[in-house]
Structure 1
Amino acid sequence: MPEINVNGVQLYYEEYGSGEPFILLHGLGGDHHMFEGEINALKKSYRVIALDSRGHGKSEKVPYYTLDDHVQDVIAFMDELNIEKTNQLGASMGSYVAQGVAVSIPNRIKKMILVVAKAYGKTSSTARLQAEHADELKGLTEEEQMYALSKYIFHNLEAVGEWSQRVAVDVPVLTSEQQEAARKALVNFDFRPQLHKVTAETLVINGRYDGLNPPKEGREVVKFIPHATFVEFEHSGHAPSVEEPERFKQVVTAFLAG
Structure 2
Amino acid sequence: MPFALSNGINLYTEATGTGEPIIFIHEFAGDHRDWELQVRRLSRSHRCITFNARGYPPSDVPEDVEQYSQQIAVEDIAAVLRHHGVERAHVVGLSMGGYAALNFGISHPEMLLSIAICGAGHGSDPARRPQFLDDSKAMVTKMLSDGMEAVGKTYLSGPTRRRFAEKDARGAAEFADRFASHSALGAALTTRGCQLRRKTIYDLAAGMADIKVPVLIVAGDDDDPCLDPALFMKRNIPDARLAIFPRTTHSVNLEEPELFNRVLLDFLASVDSNGEAR
Number of equivalent positions: 251
Distance 1:80 1:19 in 2: 17
CA distance in 2: counterparts of 1:232 and 1:205, whole angstroms: 6
Q: Distance in 2 between matches of 1:169 and 1:148?
A: 14
Q: How far apart in 2 are the matches of 1:122 and 1:186?
A: 14
Match of 1:180 in 2: 188
Structure 1 unpaired stretches of 5+: none
- Structure 2 residue 121 is matched with structure 1 residue 118: yes
Alignment of 1:153 onto 2:160: yes
How far is the alpha carbon of 1:121 from its aligned partner? Answer: 4.1
User: 1:162 is matched with which residue: 154, 158, 170?
Assistant: 170
Q: TM-score, normalised by structure 1?
A: 0.86
Q: Does the aligned pair in 2 maintain the 1:58–1:172 contact within 8 Å?
A: no
Deviation readout 1:13-50 (Å, 9 max, x if unpaired): 01100111110100114211011111111100111000
Asked whether the 8 Å contact 1:57–1:172 carries over to 2, the reply is: no
TM-score by length of 2: 0.80
Residue 38 of structure 1 is matched in structure 2 by 38
SS of structure 1 residue aligned to 2:80: helix
Q: CA deviation at 1:207?
A: 0.7
Structure 2: gaps of 5 or more residues: 271-278
Hey, what's the Cα distance between the residues in 1 that align with 2:229 and 2:237?
Answer: 13
What is the match of residue 74 of structure 1? 77
Q: Is the 8 A contact 2:89 2:114 kept in 1?
A: yes
Distance of aligned partners of 1:156 and 1:30 in 2 relative to their CA distance in 1, 3 Å threshold: closer
After superposition, what is the alpha-carbon deviation per residue over 1:190-215, rounded to whole angstroms, capped at 9, x for unaligned? 3222111212211000111125x431
Instruction: Give the distance between the partners of 1:236 and 1:37, measured in 2 at CA.
Output: 17
C-alpha deviation, 1:145, in angstroms: 4.9
In 2, the alpha carbon distance for the partners of 1:22 and 1:253 equals 11
Distance (whole Å) between structure 2 residues aligned to residue 76 and residue 241 of structure 1: 25
Give the fraction of aligned pairs with identical amino acids, expressed as a percent: 25
For the residue of structure 2 that corresponds to 1:13, the secondary structure is strand
Separation in 1, partners of 2:214, 2:258: 22
Distance 1:171 1:3, change over 3 A: farther
Give 1:245's aligned residue. 257
Residues 119 and 112 of structure 1: CA distance in aligned 2, closer, same or farther (over 3 Å): farther
- State the shift of 1:81 in Å: 2.9
1:128 maps to a residue whose letter is F
SS of alignment partner, residue 238 of structure 2: coil
Match 1:196 to one of 209, 214, 218: 209
Higher mean alpha-carbon deviation, 147-156 vs 192-201, is at 147-156
Structure (1 or 2) with the greater helix fraction: 2
Structure 2 Cα separation of the partners of residues 209 and 236 of structure 1: 5
Q: Distance in 2 between matches of 1:52 and 1:223?
A: 31
